[in-house]
Structure 1
Amino acid sequence: MASLSLKTLLNPRSGAAATVASLLDALGGSVSVQDMSGARLLGALDGHAGRMPVWFADVQLGWVTGRPEAAGAVCSLLTHLAAREAEKRALAAEVLHLYREVHLIEQLSEQLTALFDIATVGRSALEQARRLIAASDGCVLVRDTDGGQLSEVASFGDGESPLPCLSPLASAILERGVAGIVNDAGAQPSSREFPLLYAPLRSGRRTVGIVALGNAAGTPYTSADLKLLNTIALQTAAAIENAILCVEMVGAARDREQLAALQKELDTARMIQHSLVPRVFPPFPERTDFDLHAQMTSARAVGGDFFDFFLIDDDRLAVVIGDVSGKGVPAALYMAAVRTHIKIAAIKSITPEECLQAVNRVLVREQVSSMFATCFYGILDTRNGELRYCNAGHNPPWVLRAGGAMESLTDAGGIPLGLMERMPYTGGVLPMGAGDALFLYTDGVPEASNAGLDDFSDERLALTLRDGARLDCRGLVDLVTQELVTFTAGAQPSDDITMLMVRRTAENHPR
C-alpha cells in the first residue's frame, strides 16, 4: 500500500482538499498547509506565523502555519481526514484480498471438478498454491483407504518431501483438523530450516490428508497466506474425496460440514417459507401417469429450504428443490426470489441448464447480500419418461429403479446460484421407465443429529430408501420421516428438512 502523505490526501480532485479549504476560509487570516519539504499545498503562507506539525500514526505528514488556535483546528481536521483515508485504503486492500480468494475458488473449482485421479488433484492444488503463496517446497499427503497411514501423492521442491518438519506435527493436524503456521525455527523440537504453512484436507467430518508449504527464503507466513491455503485445502479435499469414492466405487455422498448455530425461531420467516411452497396433495389428482409427494419440516431457526413443482404443459412436469444460505427472514425472502425467477424462466420452455444459468445471472446482478442458493431443477417428459436436469451445487438426488437398483445423480450442473455470473451449467438426461422414481432432499436430512451429535448420514438415507423402494411417494417420504424421528429421538431439527419424490407410474399419459 502506498504511503500516506498530505500531497496525496489533499489532491485537488479529492473531497478532503475541499473540506480543508472550507475550514481555512472560515478561519480567515493567514493559515496554510505545507508538506514535509515546506511546499504550500493550501492556504496563504505567512512567514511570520508559527508552525505546527501534522501527525498521523506516529508519522509526521507536514506542517500547518498560522495562529496557534487556527493551526490546531486545521491539524485536528487533517489528522481526522488522514485516518479516514487510511481506513479506506485498508478496506480496499481487504476487498482485493477477498477478490483473490473468490478468483481462486473459481479457477480451482473448474480444474478439480473434472479430475478423478488423486495424484492429479494434488498436483493441481500445489500448482495453484505456488502461484499465490511464496514457497520453495510443498506436498500433499493423503490417508490410505482405511484412514491410517499418510502417503505422498504430490510434491515439489528439493526432493526432501514430505517436508521433514511436518512429520512431528502430522498426527496433531489430523486429530485436531486445524490449519496453522510455524514461523519460529525453535518452536518445534525437530531441526528446521524454513517457515511452515499447513492445512488439513477436511471433507465433512473426515480429515483425508494434509497440504503443506515451506519457504526456504525464510520469509514468515501470514494469516492471509493461511486463509488462501485453507481455501485451497477445502477445494482439494472435496476433489480427493470424490476421487476416492470413484476409485472405491462405493457411490456414497460425502458428509457435508456441520452448519453453524442457527438464530432464534422467526415466525415471519416460517410464514414466508410455507406460503410459497405447495401444500395440497395429491397436487394433480386427475393424472395417473405419475405420483408426487413433498414434505417440509422447518427448523427452530427457519432456514432457506424450498421446493416447487408445476406442469409446463400437458406432457412436461417440472420439479425444483433448493436451499438458501443463511437463516431467518433474509433467507426466506431470497428463497422467494429464487423460486420466482426459476418459474419465470421455466415457462419459456428452455432446458434446465439454460434456466439455472439465466436465474444465476439475474441473482448475481441483483445481489444485495452474500447469500447464494443450491438448487436442483428437473423436467420429466411424461410421454417418454425422459428426465432432463441440472444441479447447482445441491445434494445429489437418488434414482430408484423399478427393479430395485439405485443410483445417485452427480454428473451434471454447476456451482450454487448467486455466487459468480459467468459460470457454465451443464445438463443431464436420464431415462425413467414405468415404476422408476426420483428422490430429492436437502442437507437437513443426512445432517439431522441425535443426542450424541451423530449425523443421520447419506448412508442411512440410502438404506432407508432401499428398504422402502416399493412404497408410493407419500409412503416413502413418511418412512424417511419416521426413521429421522427415531434416530433423533424426536429432537427439533437444527436445519430445515425437505423431501420431494416423483415416480413415473405409466408409460404414457392417458388422453
Structure 2
Amino acid sequence: MTTEGSTVGDDASSDRDGAGGRPVGLSIRDFLTDGSLASLCAALSSLSGLDVQLRDESGRRIVASDDSGLWTILDQEASGEAPAMADRVPILLGDQAVGEIVVAPGAPSLTGASREHVLSVARAVRATAGEVIADVTELRHRVKELDVLHRLSAMLTSPNVTPEAMLDAALASALDALDLDAGSIVLLPTDADGMPSGENEGELRLMASRNLSREWLESPVPLSQDREFDRTVLSGRVLAIEDLLADPRTLTPARLEREGVRGFISAAMISRERLIGVIRLYSRSVRRFTPPERLLLKSIGEQAAAAVEQATLLHAQQEERRIQRQLKLASAVQARMLPARLPKRDGVDIAARSVPSTELAGDFYDVFGVEDRLGIVIGDVVGKGVAAALMMSSVRGSLRAFAQDTAAVDTVLTRTNRAMCRDTLDNEFATTWYGVLDPETGALEYCSAGHEPPFVIRAREGDEVDSSAVRPLGVGGLVLGVDAGQVYKVFQHRLEPGDVLVAYTDGLTDARDFSNEKFGFSRLVHAVVDALRENVNASAEDVLERVMWTLRQFSGLREQVDDETIVVLRYRGGGAERDG
C-alpha cells in the first residue's frame, strides 16, 4: 500500500499512526511539498552506491516518484525494517524526531570514504531540513494564531456578543488549530464587575466544552492527584502529557478509558497579567506535543483571555445601556405619578418640587381633594434606586386610596402602615407627613410618621417677618412599615391669612457644600424669610424658587446625594372651590 503526494502536499496528517488513525505528533510528511528531499536521497544512493533512505517518524519509507517529481509513502510491510548496520541521522524539530535519513550498506561505487562523505551530506541535509521545518512550523503557528485572533476579533464586532459565545469560539479555534478532539474552558470566579476574584483551582467553573460527556464534565473528581495539573497551569506553565493513562499522577484511569481521552495539553488564560481561567484540550490517542504547539496554545489562551475580557466589558456596557433605558422609562412613569397639576382652592396657593438624586426617587409628595378639603402628603422611603421607587409607589398609592375612604388623617396613616408592615421587610420603611386643610377656616389636621416636621411662618403685610415667626408642627409617631400596631396622634393647627407652610424631606436640609457643611434647617428658614421680606405677598412658587436657588448657591457643583423634595403652601384666607 502506498500514499501518493502532490505538489501542494496532501493531508498527510490523516495517515499517521495512533489509535483510530489519529496523530501522535508532527511528521516529516507534514513538510513535504515537491518531493525534493526524497529525490535528493535517491540521487545520493545512485551516486554513492549506498542505500540512502528517507523515513518518517514511524519508520515508513518515503521515496521519490519516477516521473511526477512527487513522492510516495510506502506502508510498513513495503518499507521493511531499517538494516541493523545502517547509520541513522534523525531530522529534529526541537527535541522531537519527525523523520530520519538512513544510510544503509550497499555496493559503494566510490572510494572507501564514500560512506563518510554520504553521512556528512546526510547530516548537512538534516540540519538544513531541520531549519526549514522549524521555520515552516513557526510560520504555520503564526498563521494559526492570526486565524484565531481574526475569528475572535470578528466576533467582537457583533452587537450581541457574549462572553459565553466568545469562550465557545475560542475553544473551537484551539481544537482546530492543534487538530485535537475535545476540550473545555474553565474560569475563575468573578466579582460584581465581572473581574476574576481568586486563583484557587478548586473554584474553577465550567464555561465551555466540546465533545466531552456530561459524566466527565460533572464529575467532582479532579483529573490529577491534589489537582496538580490545575496548579501547574495556574502557575503560568503550559502542561502537556503524551498519555494520561501512563502518567502516575492521573486519577481514575477507568474514567479516562470510558471517556476515550489520552493526550492532554492545558494552558492558563491570562490577560494583562491577570489570570482568568484555564483551557484544557484532549486527543483520543497518545499525542506528543511539540514546543511550538505548546507556545501556540499559550498564545491562543492569552488571545482568548483578552477577547473574553473585552466581550465581558462590551456585554456589561450593553447591559448598562439597557438598564439605563429601563431606568429612564421607569423614571418617566414615576414622574407621572406626581401631580401633573396641583388642585386649586380659593385662598390657597400651593407649589411643590421633587429633585431626585438618581433616575428613580424615594421621595414623594401629593396634593388631592378630600371631600371639600385639601389633602397634602410628603414622604421619604428608605434607600435609593429601584427598590425605593417601587416602595414609594406602593406607599403613595395606598395612602391616596385610603384617603378616599375616610377623612380621618390618623386612620389613613394607620391603614397605610399596616399595609406596609404586611408587604415589606423589616429594613424597609418610610417617613410620611399627611395633613388635611379646610380652605374655608384654615383648620389643619395632620399626623406624622417619623417625618421631619413642617413649619409655618406668619407673614402679614405691614408686619416684620423674621425667623422668630417660625412655628414647627408636631413630630408624631413611628415611621411606616415597622410596627403594625402603631397608633398615630392627630395634631391640629389653624392657619391665618398670610401664613406659609413648608414641608420638606431630609435630603434638602442634609445637602452639603464642598466643606462638607450641611445646608440645615436654619438656612432653609432664612431662605423662606428672605423671600417674604423681599415681597410679603410672595406666591408659593416664589418662595419655593428662593429656597431652591439658595440651596444651589450653597452646594454649588457638589454631587447631590439624596432626593430633595419641598411643598410650599401659602394660605390667603377662606374661599370656595374653583376646580380640581
Under TM normalisation by the shorter chain, which class is it? 0.3 to 0.5
Higher Rg: 2
TM-score (norm 1): 0.45
Bigger helix share: 2
**Normalising by structure 2, what TM-score?**
0.40
